Amino acid sequence: MKIGFRLLLGFCLIVGVAAYFIMNIFVQEVKPGVRRATEGMLVDTAHILAQIAEQDLRNNNLSRGYISRAFSDINSAPLGAKIDNIVKNRMEYRVYITNSKGIVIFDSSGEAVGQDYSRWNDVYLTLRGKYGARSTRTNPDDESSSVMYVAAPIKSNGKIIGSLTVSKPNQTMQPVISRGERRIEIAAVILLGITLLIGAVFLWWINRSISRLVRYASEVADGKNVALPKMDSPELVSLANALESMRIKLEGKDYIENYVHTLTHELKSPLAAIRGAAEILQEMPPRPVALRFINNIKQQNERLQLLVDRMLQQAQVESRVRQELSPVDLSEVLNSVIEAKEAQLTQCKITLTSKIDAPAMVRGDKLLLEQAFGNLLDNALDFTPEQGEISVVGEFIDNHYRIIVADTGPGLPDYALDKVFDRFYSLPRPSKAKSTGLGLSFVREVALIHQGSISLLNGEQGGAKAIFILPVKG
C-alpha cells in the first residue's frame, strides 16, 4: 500500500472518529438544552401567573377570575404563529392551582379539579417554600409521553396560600429538537467534507513533493544533470539537501575514479613515445636521427600539455560548479568566434558563410559559450577539406535560439553517431594529428549548464551538422 494512500486512510479515520464523537456530543446536548430553556420559560410563566392568581384565590373567585377567563378565550381561535417554519396554532401550556393543602381548585384542562396533588413534587416542594418541579410520563411505557411541570407559590401578605403549576408536554418540543439535530448533522457532514478536501489537498502536496524528490533521485541515478527541486517546507528542504549532498559525494568519488582511469589510458601513448625516443637517443644515433626523435619528444610533450589543459577545462564544466550566468547576446558571441577563426580559415582555404539573427539574448557564461562554439568550428575545420565550405546559422525557433554549424567533410560513420560526445572519443582527422577527444564532450557539458542541447548528425547533402539549442532569455 502506497504511503500516500496510507496517510489519506489514516487521516480519514481520525477525522471520521472525531466527527462522530463531536456530532454525538452536539446531538446529545440538543435535547437537554431545549428542555433547560423550556424549564426556564415555565419558571418565569409560573411566577407571573402566580401573581395574577393571588387576588382570585384570596377572593375565592378562581372560576370567574382573570386566569379562568383567559384560558377559556385563548384557544378560541388559531394563534397562527410561525416560528422558524414551525407553525403554532394553540397554546400548549396546562395550568392548575392548588390551595395550601395541595387540593386542585383550578385546572385549565378541567381534568384534576378536587384531586389531591399534595404528594407531587411540584406542589409538595412549592408549598414548603422550595423550588418545585417534576417530569412525569402520561404513559409509563412511552418516554416521549413525559410532561414537564414547574410550580410557583401563591403568596398573600408573605404567606403561601397555594401553588400554581405550569406544565408542557415534552413532545411539543420535538419539532425544535429534530430541527436542531438535523441542522447539526448537515453541518457535520459539510464540515467533514471540507476537512477531507483540505486533507486531500494536503496529501496531494506531500505526494507531489515526494514524487519530485523520487524523480530527481531517479534522474541522477540515470546520469542526468538535473537541478535540485525546490521544496516548500523545512523538513523536505533538509531531505532534498541531504540527497543533493549524497549525490555530490558519490559523483565526486565516481568522477575521480573515472578520470584517473581515462587519464592514465590517454597518457600511456605519448609517454611510451617519449620513453622510446629517449632510449634511442641514449644510443647516440647520427645527428639526423637524433633530431627526428628530439622533434618527436617535443611533439609528444606538446600533446601532453594540450591534453592536460583540456582535461582541466573539462573538469571545470563537469564539476557542476554553479556558474555565474548573466545576459549574453549569442549573435555577438558567434560573430566574435567567427572573426577569431578567419586566419585559420584562410590558411586552410575554407570558405565560411554565416546567417545570424540578432539580437539573441540568453542567460549564460560568455567565456564558456565562446569556447564551446570555438570547439564546434575547430571540429568542422578538422574535417573540411581544402576548398570546402562551412556554414553557420543562428535562428530563433519558438522560445529557443538554434545554432547550426555544417561542413562539407566526409560526415560521421554510423558506428560513431552515439559516441562522438563521449570523453576521449576521437575520429581520425584527414592529414591532421589525433585530437584529445574532449572538444565535443566539453560542448555537451556547456549545453547542459545552460539548460540547452547539442546534437551531431550527417547532413542531407553530405558532411556533418552540429545543432546547438539554447533557451532564449524571457
407-453 tens-digit pLDDT: 888 888 877 777 777 766 677 666 555 566 667 777 888 888 788 88
Task: For the beta carbon of residue 104, count every other beta carbon within 10 angstroms.
Answer: 20
Q: What angle is formed at CA 45 by the lines to CA 42 and CA 48, rounded to 5 degrees?
A: 150
pLDDT at 165: 94
**Of 305, 301, 259, 258, residue with least CA distance to 278:** 301
Per residue in 246-262, pLDDT tens?
Answer: 666 655 555 555 555 55
**Architecture of the CATH domain 3-178:** 2-Layer Sandwich (3.30)
Helices (H), 222-328: 234-282, 287-318
Per residue in 41-62, pLDDT tens?
Answer: 899 989 998 888 888 888 777 7
Per residue in 85-123, pLDDT tens?
Answer: 555 546 678 899 999 899 998 888 888 889 999 999 999
Higher pLDDT, 318 or 169: 169
Identify any residues that bridge with 328 across adjacent strands, giving them in sequence order. 362
| Angstrom distance (rounded) from CA 422 to CA 418 | 8
Query: What residues contact 378, with CB distance under 8 A and at least 6 apart?
Result: 439
| Angstrom distance (rounded) from CA 215 to CA 219 | 6
Domain boundaries, the chain: 3-178, 258-319, 326-471
pLDDT at 10: 75
**Which CATH superfamily, name and number, covers 326-471?**
Histidine kinase-like ATPase, C-terminal domain (3.30.565.10)
**Of 171, 127, 169, 170, residue with least CA distance to 151:** 127
DSSP 213-231: HHHHHHHHHTT---PPPP-
Higher pLDDT, 357 or 301: 357
pLDDT at 115: 93
103 backbone dihedrals φ, ψ, rounded to 5°: -85, 130
| Start-to-end Cα distance in the chain | 44
Least confident of 129-133, 233-237, 376-380: 233-237
pLDDT at 259: 56
Percent of the chain, pLDDT > 70?
76
Question: Does the pLDDT at position 132 exceed 90?
Answer: yes
DSSP strands (E only) in 61-129: 81-83, 86-88, 94-99, 104-107
| Angstrom distance (rounded) from CA 375 to CA 367 | 12
pLDDT at 250: 59
Percent of the chain, pLDDT > 90?
11
pLDDT at 90: 62
Per residue in 162-203, pLDDT tens?
Answer: 999 999 888 776 776 677 777 777 877 787 788 778 777 877
**Residue 26 confidence class, pLDDT cut points 50, 70, 90:** low
Higher pLDDT, 23 or 145: 145
Least confident of 142-146, 301-305, 454-458: 301-305
Task: For the beta carbon of residue 441, count every other beta carbon within 10 angstroms.
Answer: 21
pLDDT at 118: 92
